[in-house]
């Protein structure tokens, strides 16, 4: 099935599509057929399609059953070209919160998501789905990138906190939120319905769980004062299933060690810790040829893995994650589906040539259901 852009041209970002009833009907049909074929319940397809056609004629939209929502969200994960963790797509837990319609209730549901997904450290891949945007329901937006995240402050002597969050932090400050100006201050949830003014909600401190970063051998590592939150819950993407746009659908897996150790703490435009670690390791950091950056990266990543293990919080290292992805590729082949992927994202940011993904090419087609970035 080709959508207006042509399935093969689907971009990961762009405006939120507004399908006419004909296009919506087509997208609904192709999803419903796929859904019940995969669930091996083909016999419900015809009557379900008739119901959906009727609903679209009468209301301009249609409503997924809980089963369709669950399987649709799982397919969206399976289709996420940039995700190395897709082996576990079938285990995604779907929390159906479509009945909520106030920012306060939505924030509360986000808090429930955090606790459910955390599960005491044994992290559960989870998505909470709020009401979709339809001709008769307003757009819900969670403006946070993730439900747990640190503020970033531009100060006279440089940036404090996470530089990636400076713009969002400034927005929060301009709307009455006041952070401590520290390196690891939790950001509030910012939730908007339709054209109403967005509302801000602090995340209760007891919900903001973090792992303190220590090293299995170097005692000084703890003195760096590094910490990171336990669950990455992406809240800024639109889930599209069968032509329906769920503009608020926060989802999480667990962390891949390199996301924290080779990017969040290492990137020069993030916490930029490599030089300090290199110096502590005894290197002259003005000299690239010693490969001090590489050594600092390895020790930082060992610290991240060690600390999450000590804290009893699920986290996967990049070698294991890539092995699991190879299993996903074999599973998909057996199921007769082609794996699509974005190699530049699937490759770990360190030791990439040690993984099978390095020698592999992937079809970059963006299939739906999927998760999309929102520009507006």
Q: Interacting stretch for ligand ARG, rule CB under 6 A, among 64-72, 203-211, 251-259, 344-352?
A: 251-259
Name which of 166 and 234 has its Cβ closer to ligand ARG. Answer: 234
Task: Give me the catalytic one of 172, 254, 292, 329.
Answer: 254
Rounded Cα gap, residues 164 and 151, in angstroms: 8
Residue written as token pair 């932090």: 169
111 is catalytic: no
Name which of 28 and 274 has its Cβ closer to ligand ARG. Answer: 274
Q: Interacting stretch for ligand ARG, rule CB under 6 A, among 38-46, 71-79, 116-124, 248-256?
A: 248-256
Q: Please select the residue that binds ligand ARG; options are 16, 234, 298, 326, rule is CB under 6 A.
A: 234
172 is catalytic: no
Residues in contact with 288: Cβ distance below 8 Å, sequence separation at least 6, in sequence order: none
Helix (H, G, I), strand (E, B) or coil at 291: coil
Based on the shown chain and the rule CB under 6 A, indicate whether residue 253 belongs to the binding site for ligand ARG.
yes
Rounded Cα gap, residues 23 and 137, in angstroms: 19
Based on the shown chain and the rule CB under 6 A, indicate whether residue 259 belongs to the binding site for ligand ARG.
yes
Rounded Cα gap, residues 344 and 328, in angstroms: 18
Based on the shown chain and the rule CB under 6 A, indicate whether residue 295 belongs to the binding site for ligand ARG.
no
Helix (H, G, I), strand (E, B) or coil at 290: helix
Q: What is the dihedral of CA 127, 130, 132, 135, to 10 degrees?
A: 180
Based on the shown chain and the rule CB under 6 A, indicate whether residue 38 belongs to the binding site for ligand ARG.
no
CB environment 187-223: b (16+ within 10 A), e (fewer): bbbbbbbeeeebbbbebeeebbbebebbbeebeebee
86 is catalytic: yes
Name which of 62 and 265 has its Cβ closer to ligand ARG. Answer: 265
Q: Interacting stretch for ligand ARG, rule CB under 6 A, among 95-103, 169-177, 253-261, 275-283?
A: 253-261
CB of 83 vs ligand ARG, minimal distance in Å: 7
Based on the shown chain and the rule CB under 6 A, indicate whether residue 264 belongs to the binding site for ligand ARG.
yes
Q: Please select the residue that binds ligand ARG; options are 72, 132, 161, 232, rule is CB under 6 A.
A: 232
343 is catalytic: no
Name which of 35 and 260 has its Cβ closer to ligand ARG. Answer: 260
Task: Give me the catalytic one of 48, 86, 118, 141.
Answer: 86
CB of 105 vs ligand ARG, minimal distance in Å: 25
Residue written as token pair 């083909």: 42
Name which of 131 and 252 has its Cβ closer to ligand ARG. Answer: 252
Rounded Cα gap, residues 106 and 100, in angstroms: 6
Q: Quick one: CA dihedral 336, 337, 338, 342, positive or negative?
A: negative
Based on the shown chain and the rule CB under 6 A, indicate whether residue 79 belongs to the binding site for ligand ARG.
no
Decide if 241 contacts 218 (C-beta within 8 A).
Answer: no
Strand partners, 256: 316
Residues in contact with 209: Cβ distance below 8 Å, sequence separation at least 6, in sequence order: 118, 229, 230, 231, 313
Decide if 318 contacts 356 (C-beta within 8 A).
Answer: no
Number of residues this chain uses to bind ligand ARG (CB under 6 A)? 8
Name which of 62 and 150 has its Cβ closer to ligand ARG. Answer: 150
Based on the shown chain and the rule CB under 6 A, indicate whether residue 255 belongs to the binding site for ligand ARG.
yes
Task: Give me the catalytic one of 38, 199, 259, 332.
Answer: 259
Based on the shown chain and the rule CB under 6 A, indicate whether residue 256 belongs to the binding site for ligand ARG.
yes
DSSP assignment letter at 65: -
Cα 173 to its chain centre, rounded Å, is 25
Q: Interacting stretch for ligand ARG, rule CB under 6 A, among 73-81, 249-257, 298-306, 329-337?
A: 249-257
Decide if 336 contacts 37 (C-beta within 8 A).
Answer: no
Q: Catalytic site residues?
A: 83, 86, 254, 259
Give the interface with ligand ARG as residue ranges (CB under 6 A): 232, 234, 252-253, 255-256, 259, 264
């Amino acid at each position: 099935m080709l959508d207006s852009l042509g399935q093969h041209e689907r971009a990961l970002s762009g405006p939120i599509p507004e399908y006419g009833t004909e296009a919506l009907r087509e997208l609904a049909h192709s999803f419903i057929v796929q859904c019940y074929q995969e669930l091996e319940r083909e016999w419900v397809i015809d009557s379900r399609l008739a119901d959906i056609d009727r609903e679209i004629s009468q209301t301009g939209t249609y409503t997924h059953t809980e089963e369709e929502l669950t399987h649709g969200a799982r397919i969206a994960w399976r289709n996420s070209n940039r995700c190395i963790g897709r082996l576990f797509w079938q285990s995604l837990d779907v929390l159906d919160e479509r009945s909520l319609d106030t920012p306060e209730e939505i924030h509360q549901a986000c808090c429930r998501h955090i606790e459910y997904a955390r599960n005491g450290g044994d992290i559960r891949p989870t998505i909470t789905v709020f009401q979709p945007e339809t001709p008769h329901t307003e757009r819900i937006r969670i403006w946070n990138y993730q439900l747990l995240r640190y503020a970033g402050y531009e100060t006279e002597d440089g940036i404090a906190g996470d530089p990636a969050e400076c713009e969002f932090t400034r927005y929060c400050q301009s709307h009455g939120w006041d952070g401590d100006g520290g390196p690891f201050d939790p950001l509030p949830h910012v939730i908007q319905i339709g054209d109403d003014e967005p509302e801000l909600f602090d995340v209760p401190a007891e919900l903001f769980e973090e792992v303190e970063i220590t090293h299995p051998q170097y005692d000084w590592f703890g003195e760096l004062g590094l910490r990171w939150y336990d669950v990455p819950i992406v809240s800024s993407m639109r889930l599209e299933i069968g032509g329906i746009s769920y503009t608020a659908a926060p989802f999480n897996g667990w962390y891949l060690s390199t996301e924290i150790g080779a990017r969040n703490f290492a990137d020069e435009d993030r916490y930029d810790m490599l030089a300090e670690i290199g110096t502590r390791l005894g290197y002259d950091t003005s000299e690239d040829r010693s490969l001090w950056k590489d050594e600092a990266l390895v020790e930082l990543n060992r610290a991240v893995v060690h600390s999450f293990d000590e804290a009893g919080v699920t986290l996967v290292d990049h070698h294991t994650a890539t092995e699991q992805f190879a299993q996903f590729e074999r599973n998909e082949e057996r199921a007769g589906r082609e794996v699509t992927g974005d190699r530049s994202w699937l490759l770990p940011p360190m030791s990439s040539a040690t993984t099978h993904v390095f020698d592999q090419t992937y079809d970059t087609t963006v299939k739906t259901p999927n998760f999309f970035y929102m520009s507006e």
